[in-house]
Amino acid sequence: MQGDIVTNQEQSLLLKQKRKRNARKKLDVWLLLLPTLLIFIFFFLLPLVFLFVTSFKTFDANSGIGSEWTIQNYVKFLSDSFYLSVLWRTVKIALLTTLITIIISYPVAYQISKAKGRLKNYLTLIVLSPLLISMVIRSYGWVIILSNKGVINNTLMDLGIINQPLTLLYTEFSVILGMIHVLFPYMVLTIMGSLERIDPSVIRASQNLGASSLRTFFSVMLPLTLPGIFAGSVMVFSLSVSSFVTPAILGGPQVKVMSYLTYEQTAVMLNWPYGSAIGFLLIFLAIITIVIYSRILAYSEKGVAIQ
């Protein structure tokens, strides 16, 4: 009987010690996360809350942000064909950028994933090298190439192919081209990660069963790399739909997108409530994209068969 009491006391003591260790571990985790959480709260979350509240405020050209509450800022945007056309242009540019980036990134990612040793490191470095250069510098590089007296127009005119410069700059084409250049590495890396996780024996099994290279790609490789494609797509789409520097430099006022419109309303017109509403509509668009991506990714992880 006394032995049972001692055993129960030891078990109780061990249980208390285990709880203390778990509490210390949780405390250590929170202490490690605290600096990041403080930065996130004070420099990201609180400004977003402030902007969200501001988007429901009135605006007066003389006094600035008013004290009254209104939903007119959102109604104004959603009921005006001009602003809706800007929204559609933003989505269209982002979709085309994402689609073209997938098409040109997949072969590059495939070749890098098949490379070995130093060659693979060099190819990866070449793909990542644009990230070492400022986005502003890269965009102005395209200005030099696409302008009326740029490399392309001067070359075509010297060859006698055209008589007058082509309008390449400050168009949707120039914005999409610049966005592809900026976001290309992100898509390559995500697709390359999916390709490297494919077991080579699966590809050999498909070929041994008589499948052609094209059938092997569409029936085996493509379904297995869909998670990487979706991950790269949501990343590229989210970054392109909210990008400001590249559309501002390569598109300018002639190709207005949502980010440029937000800047124009807040920094030029000083209409913070309306600019905040436009910004939150852009955030809402990005959230919808992520939700759709998550649903598609969850479906693809269950298995996809392409006949």
pLDDT in tens, 175-232: 999 999 999 999 999 999 888 888 888 888 887 877 787 888 888 888 888 888 888 8
Mean pLDDT (whole number) for 4-22: 68
Specify the pLDDT at position 307. 38
Cβ-contact 258, 86 below 8 angstroms: yes
Same domain, 77 and 49: no
User: Does the residue 168 lie in any domain?
Assistant: yes
pLDDT at 21: 77
Answer yes or no: do 44 and 99 share one domain.
no
Classify residue 235: in a domain, yes or no: yes
**25 with 88, same domain?**
no
Q: Are 114 and 203 in contact, with CB atoms under 8 Å apart?
A: no
Which domain, by its residues, includes 93?
73-300
**Rounded-to-integer distance, Cα 105 and Cα 38, Å:** 37
Other C-beta atoms closer than 10 Å to the C-beta of 229 total 22
Mean pLDDT of 248-268: 89
CA distance 5 to 224: 59
Does residue 202 form part of some domain? yes
Residues 168 and 40 in one domain: no
* Structural domains of the chain, count: 2
Kindly report, residue by residue over 147-171, the tens digit of the pLDDT.
Answer: 888 889 988 888 888 888 888 889 9
Do residue 86 and residue 34 come from a single domain?
Answer: no
Whether 304 shows a pLDDT value over 60: the answer reads no
Same domain, 104 and 19: no
| pLDDT confidence of residue 305 | 39
d(CA 166, CA 161): 11
Q: What is the pTM of this model?
A: 0.81
**In this predicted model, what pLDDT tens digit does every residue of 60-103 receive, in sequence order?**
877 778 888 889 899 999 898 999 999 999 999 999 999 999 99
The pair of structure tokens assigned to 54 is: 């501001």
Spatial distance between the Cα atoms of 112 and 184, rounded to a whole number of angstroms: 14
Residues 127 and 205 placed together within one structural domain of the fold = yes
Residue pLDDT, tens place only, 19-67: 777 777 777 778 888 888 888 888 888 888 888 888 898 888 777 788 8
